């Protein structure tokens, strides 16, 4: 059996592009307690911990785990706690380029693959009215950096350099390549 160690609906949707059938078993780890010297290493480290947690109870299966962060000025932007924080994040990203980094791990009995993928995202200059309308939709609340690149009705993003799917939360192109090696 193949297991996705995530409860993200976007990851579930994206993984179907690589693997049509799998089970979902979210990993219960304390992400806030994980420390790294370089924030760019955090997503891959979290993906390893998530995969190992689920694999420990499913040693005959293959586990896929992923974690995504938004990074600007050396600061990690996680999921906003409320509308005010979502507004502040979007204001910070406005007119600037940031990194979206996803780390993923594929773990099975005799093999472990862990990778990180980075995409550069440049935001349009956002006015307050647009930010408030977007925050009011509730869409930013479950997304790192308080935005979803797939939210096409809001012109947030000017350009991306790298994987669109990575910004959604799962670097499909990289995962497809590695999946062939499993």
Going by the DSSP 8-state scheme, the letter that residue 137 receives in this structure is T
* Residue ranges of E strands in the chain: 2-4, 23-24, 62-72, 75-77, 97-108, 111-123, 157-161
∠89-91-93 over CA atoms, to 5°? Answer: 70
Check pLDDT > 90 for residue 7: no
The domains found in the chain, sorted by start residue, are 2-179 (3.90.950.10)
In eight-state DSSP terms, residue 124 is: P
**Of these residues, 30, 67, 128, 151, which one is catalytic?**
67
Structural tokens at position 121: 């995202």
Is 28 a catalytic site residue?
Answer: no
Instruction: Encode pLDDT of 24-56 as tens digits.
Output: 999 989 887 888 999 999 999 999 999 999 999
Average pLDDT value for the chain = 95
Confidence of residue 80 (pLDDT cuts 50, 70, 90): very high
What is the model's pTM?
Answer: 0.93
pLDDT digits (tens, 9 = 90+) for 93-119: 999 999 999 999 999 999 999 999 999
């Amino acid at each position: 059996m193949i297991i996705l160690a995530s409860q993200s609906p976007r990851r579930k949707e994206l993984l179907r592009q690589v693997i049509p059938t799998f089970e979902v078993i979210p990993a219960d780890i304390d992400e806030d307690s994980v420390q790294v010297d370089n924030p760019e290493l955090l997503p891959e480290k979290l993906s390893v911990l998530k995969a190992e947690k689920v694999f420990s109870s499913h040693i005959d299966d293959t586990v896929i785990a992923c974690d995504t962060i938004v990074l600007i000025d050396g600061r990690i932007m996680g999921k906003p706690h409320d509308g005010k924080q979502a507004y502040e994040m979007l204001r910070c990203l406005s007119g600037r380029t940031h990194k979206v980094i996803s780390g993923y791990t594929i773990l099975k009995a005799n093999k472990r693959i862990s990778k990180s993928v980075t995409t550069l995202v440049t935001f349009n200059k956002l006015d307050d009215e647009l930010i408030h309308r977007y925050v009011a939709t509730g869409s930013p609340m479950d997304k790192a950096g308080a935005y979803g690149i797939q939210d096409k009705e809001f012109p947030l993003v000017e350009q991306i350099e790298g994987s669109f799917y990575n910004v959604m939360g799962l670097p499909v192109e990289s995962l497809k390549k590695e999946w062939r090696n499993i």
